[in-house]
Amino acid sequence: MVVIEGGEARGGKWEVGSLFVYPSFSIVPGLQRGRPQSTKAAMNTRHVFLALCALPCLAQAANTGSPFYGDPPDAHHPWAVHDQNRPQPVRVEPGTFSTQEQPGKPPSDAIVLFGGQASDLDKWQADKKPAEPTKWEVKDGILQCVPKSGYIRTKEEFADCQLHVEWSEPADISGESQGRGNSGVFLMGHLEVQVLDNYNNPTYADGFAASLYGVNPPMANPLRKPGEWQVYDIVFRKPVYKDGKELDAGYMTVFSNGVLVQDHTPLEGPGGHHNRSKTGPFPEKGPLKLQDHGNPVRFRNIWYRPLPKRTIEGATEGALSEEATNAKRAEIAETVRADAAKLEGNAKTLRQLESLVYATDAATLKEATGSVEAFVAAVKALPADKLGSKKSDIMTFHNALQYLTKAKDLPADFGATNELADIVKTQGWDKKK
Low-confidence residues of the chain: pLDDT under 70: 1-62, 274, 277, 433
Mapped onto helix, strand or coil, the DSSP state of residue 73 is: coil
In this prediction, residue 34 carries a pLDDT of 37
Which amino acid, residue 198? N
Q: What is the pLDDT of residue 147?
A: 94
Report the alpha-carbon distance of residue 15 to residue 7 in Å, rounded. 6
Contact 185, 288 (CB under 8 A): yes
> What residues contact 409, with CB distance under 8 A and at least 6 apart?
72, 356, 357, 360
Cα of 192 vs its chain's centroid, Å? 29
Are the beta carbons of 131 and 156 closer than 8 angstroms? no
Q: So where are the chain's domains?
A: 8-88+320-398, 111-313
E-strand stretches of 123-216: 124-126, 137-139, 142-144, 152-154, 161-168, 183-187, 191-195
What pLDDT was estimated at residue 208?
Answer: 96
Q: What SS3 class is residue 111?
A: strand
Q: How is domain 111-313 classified at the CATH fold level? A: Jelly Rolls (2.60.120)
pLDDT of amino acid 274 = 64
Exposure letters 277-292 (e unless 16+ CB within 10 A, then b): beeeebeeebbbbbbb
